[in-house]
Amino acid sequence: MSLYPSFKLASKTTGFIIIMILLVGSWKIGFGQHDNAHKLDYKQREIKKNEIIQTLKAFKPNDQTAVLELKETEIDDQTIKKSIRVIGEGFLQLNKATWIYFVSFSSHKDSNIGDMTLAIDHIGNMYQNDGHVCGGIIHFETFDRSAIKNPEHFFQLFKSDTDDLGWSKIY
């Protein structure tokens, strides 16, 4: 009885395992910045979050405020995608009385802090989304056909487009 066939099988299996380890390792190097929860410095993150909260609290809409466009795209007869694109910060006017102001921070700027978008509505409710902010840009979308009734309804419907994360009310 020869040991050669089992050795050949073991070599192929070992080779496959080594190739998989190399592939997974190179993926983590190339895309690791998008999976940075393990690298976060939660103290620094909380400091940045509080800075953004102060910015949100001080916000007052005026004529110079950059307005975000709520874009509607018909996908097919049954599906409409509603989306907004936030580049750093932005103001979404839902109707004459209601609005939402967004401020984003990207892990590309500081991987210790990570990605976060905070928002405040016209009455002071604040929300947080930890979806990936890439190059200062994040998109939020929904495929729900209903009209947006108010900010709370917006935060229930819309999720980040890259990682499908929803919003959490923080205040």
Give the global pTM.
0.79
pLDDT of residue 28: 45
Distance (Å, whole) CA 33 – CA 100: 29
Single out the residue of 121, 156, 115, 117 nearest to residue 134, CA to CA.
115
Q: Is 49 helix (H, G, I), strand (E, B) or coil?
A: helix
Write the pLDDT tens digit of every residue in 33-86.
555 556 899 999 999 999 999 999 999 998 888 799 999 999 999 899 999 999
